Chains A and B, each alone.
Chain A
Amino acid sequence: MEKIKNISGITRFSFIELFGPILIITAASCLIGFSSASLMLTVQFALCYFVMVLALQVFVGNSGVLSFGHGAFAMLGAFVSGLLTAPVRIKNNALSMTDLLQSIADIQVNLYLSLLIAAIVGGVVAGITGVFLMRLNGLAAGIATFALLGVAYNFFFNNTKFGPGSQALPGVPKFQNLFIPLLLALVALVLVYLLNVSSIGRTLRATREDNLAAPALGINIIRVRRIAFALSGALAGLAGAMYSHVAGTVQVQDYYLGFTFLTLSMLVIGGSGSIWGALVGTLLVISVGQVLLMMEQGKAIFGLSIDLPNGARAIFIAATLVVALLWRSSGVTNGKEFAFPNFKKKSN
């Protein structure tokens, strides 16, 4: 019998696929986070990255269209949430904020409300730009979304009316504990999973697999891509806002090339077709970075102390990315969703 190509991504709702990742995130966050204060911060950053990678998975993973523009939505979310929550006193007195519009300086809202607003702003801007951008395909779409990131970076870097410009926005309130970002990440995970099993997720993957057959079956490619782009923009806005509340500051450089490519790499390394891939990729990249950091600082890991010269860490991280792609070009998970390890031999 002719072998049917295994298309990556979920087809129908399955409890294991959803609750496996939920369990793993919760367990890993709590176990690692509560072991030391510095690891607690790492876990919180990892959760922000994970939400961002999920946002990329929704659009990039499902549609196969590369987007560098999500960094722009994260940047926007971070600025919105950071400016809305930073104390009025700081915004009116900080040296980096002398040009800030008075109406922005005088606003202060609750952290949770600001996260919601950041997500909405990200979604609306992605929705509007998506109307135009989604007419493009392939590399042109990639470069167009990159142009979007370029405009956002250039604007926020130089504009001191709507933010601190090239400087850091001080005094952004931090999350009180691990559970808030954890809960946000879990909510994002469930939403993305439900979206992926919905007709939007399925039609989107259909357009990725064959963009001639999909419209022949009545799928409006541009329409589903626009919807997915808006939704993933909202998630990216949330991720950026979360990041600002973990870092306690907003700086435009944090959401530019490094951020964009780090999160895209996480998605590709893990396997862009599934949320399980998004999780594995994030975990892998963060833990390799963290282990190397601890080696660099001369700390013992599992009782083993390996001395690493300064600067070697960055080389190892980048090398890991390249080697991971050489080893498994479709990602560590091959784009499959979570399943219990099956030790029995598969019968093809």
Chain B
Amino acid sequence: MVQAILDAISLGGTYALAALGLGLVFGVMRLVNFAHAELITISAYILVVTNDLPLIVSFIIAAVVTALLAVAMELLIYRRLRGTGPAIMLIASFGLSVLLQRVYELIFGALPKSAAIAPWMSGEVKVAGASVTISSIATVVITVVILLIAGYLIERTSLGLQLRAAAIDFKTARLLGVRSNRLIAAAFAISGVLAAIVGFIVVVENPQVSPMYGVNITILALVGIVIGGIASLRGSALGGFMVGVILSLLNTFLGNARVYAYSWLFLLVLIILLVRPGGIMSKANEMERV
């Protein structure tokens, strides 16, 4: 039971981090970045490949490379597509996602690459009389810390203020002196670092890294930001968290019918969207134009 609750919270936390990364980029440029999946994947690959180095060193390498890749995406592709509309940018990001998957396949091979990353994390400890895995506790701790840092960054710093302003109204934010190119690049860099952290969390649990490693979590995080309320970063993170918790609970309590967990999750998403089209954090009557 304790393990089930911890699992739910840690999965929720992981999805919240992924959703926050997606939400940051969406906020500044209305882009649903499917290629976020490949940021998570590259981080996981680097952690596996550099497993011989001390964990902290290999994580720093992973974070730097992932952030650079994220910024490169923006500079080479998304910057040129700015203003073409969300549908086209979404399709472009999907194309980029497939492109990177194929590149990974060429570099790392189609078969999963694996390594025991931080093996001490799969040990168990006693908490409140029940034994739970260290990795689930570590995940909860990491996500809480990162969310607190992100919360501080977003609520208390100038960069965060700019990001929030841009998420609400990008045009007005620019008129008020927000430097759009710099801000968007920063949003991509932060979302890259968040993706690297998500990559670390998932690779500890499941070290079999293949080219499509990050796709599933990204899709679910995407679902999360929409039901949470895409207009606000807090809503995005909350939505991601909810999706993780619901999925984890469904997996625990559906028993043999757990193969249909995704069906129930998606049905729930449909219902939430029909009741609150703008997400849980929105007012009932807000709707996106078009």
Contacts and interface: CB of A to CB of B under 8 A. Distances in A.
A211 B87 CA distance: 17
Q: Give the interface centre of B259, B260, B266, B289 by most chain A CB atoms within 10 Å.
A: B266
A332 interface: no
Contacts, number: 135
B262 A154 contact: yes
A321 B97 CA distance: 11
B142 interface: no
A322 B96 contact: yes
Interface stretch (B98-106, B118-126, B200-208): B98-106
Contact of B81 (A64, A142, A326): A326
A154 B102 contact: no
B226 interface: yes
Interface in B255-290: 259-260, 262-263, 265-267, 269-270, 273-274, 277-279, 287-290
B81 A66 contact: no
Given A137-B277, A147-B270, A329-B81, A158 B260 contact: yes
Contacts of A317: 98
A144 B269 contact: yes
Contact count band on B: 35 or more
Nearest to A208: B290
Interface residues of A, number: 45
B91 A211 contact: no
A113 to B, nearest CB: 30
A148 B270 CA distance: 8
A66 B215 CA distance: 20
Interface string A118-149: 00000000000000110111111011101110
B289 A154 contact: no
B260 A155 contact: yes
A318 B102 contact: yes
A264 interface: yes
B87 A151 contact: no
A62 interface: no
B263 A143 contact: no
B102 A147 contact: no
A329 B266 contact: no
A325 B287 contact: no
B288 A147 contact: no
B72 to A, nearest CB: 13
Contact of B290 (A137, A148, A318): A137
B104 to A, nearest CB: 10
B277 to A, nearest CB: 5
A27 interface: no
B53 to A, nearest CB: 29
A132 B88 CA distance: 25
Nearest to B99: A318
B274 A136 contact: yes
A261 B98 CA distance: 10
A319 interface: yes
Interface string B70-101: 00000001001100101110111011101100
B210 to A, nearest CB: 14
Interface string A55-85: 0000010001110000000000000000000
Interface of B: 32, 77, 80-81, 84, 86-88, 90-92, 94-96, 98-99, 102-103, 105-106, 215, 219, 222-223, 226-227, 230, 259-260, 262-263, 265-267, 269-270, 273-274, 277-279, 287-290
17 contacts: A133-B270, A135-B274, A137-B288, A139-B226, A146-B223, A150-B266, A158-B259, A261-B91, A265-B91, A268-B87, A311-B106, A315-B103, A315-B106, A321-B95, A321-B99, A325-B95, A330-B88
Interface of A: 60, 64-66, 132-133, 135-140, 142-144, 146-148, 150-151, 154-155, 158, 208, 211-212, 257, 261, 264-265, 268, 272, 311-312, 314-315, 317-319, 321-322, 325-326, 329-330
